[in-house]
Amino acid sequence: MIAVVSRVRCAKVEVDGKSVGSIGPGLLVLLGVADADEQSDLNYIVSKTAGLRIFTRDDKMNDDVTQVNGQILLVSQFTLLGDARKGRRPDFGAAAKAAKAKQLYERCALAFEQMGIVTQTGQFGADMHVSSVGDGPVTILLDSNKRF
């Protein structure tokens, strides 16, 4: 499982011109689910994301999203699993099939909610327009298989 986590002042996702999710200050999390991912991968991503000390206090990144009452906008993005090492067209063979990816994506959103983090989501499988106002900018890459 791969996540791109950005600290934002605000973020929103639209489908067909209608807002389906929006947040104020917090984290925009783009989530890619791999075919081999399991509950342990989900646990890793949720724990790491919620615990990232990337919010500034006393001129240092000391606080996590829960400490600043931040929100999360979680957006499914299978293209994070694209392998572009050969040729110019990415290979998405490592991405989970839709049913599995949707299940883990929804469980991820629920896990954040259960931690007390206000969580909004995009619309799984839809053509989404995501916009955000970065804060910093601060962007962290997470990989449950620790490839980077």
Residues 14-66: tens digit of each pLDDT: 999 999 999 999 999 999 999 999 999 999 999 999 999 999 999 999 999 99
Residues 120-136: tens digit of each pLDDT: 999 999 999 999 999 99
- Catalytic residue numbers, as ranges: 77-79
User: In degrees rounded to 5, what are phi and psi of residue 16?
Assistant: 55, 40
Count of beta carbons in the 10 Å neighbourhood of residue 21: 22
Q: Which CATH number fits domain 2-143: 3.50.80.10, 3.40.640.10, 3.90.1150.10, 3.30.70.20?
A: 3.50.80.10
Strands (DSSP E) contained in the chain are: 2-15, 18-23, 26-32, 55-57, 60-63, 71-76, 119-121, 128-143
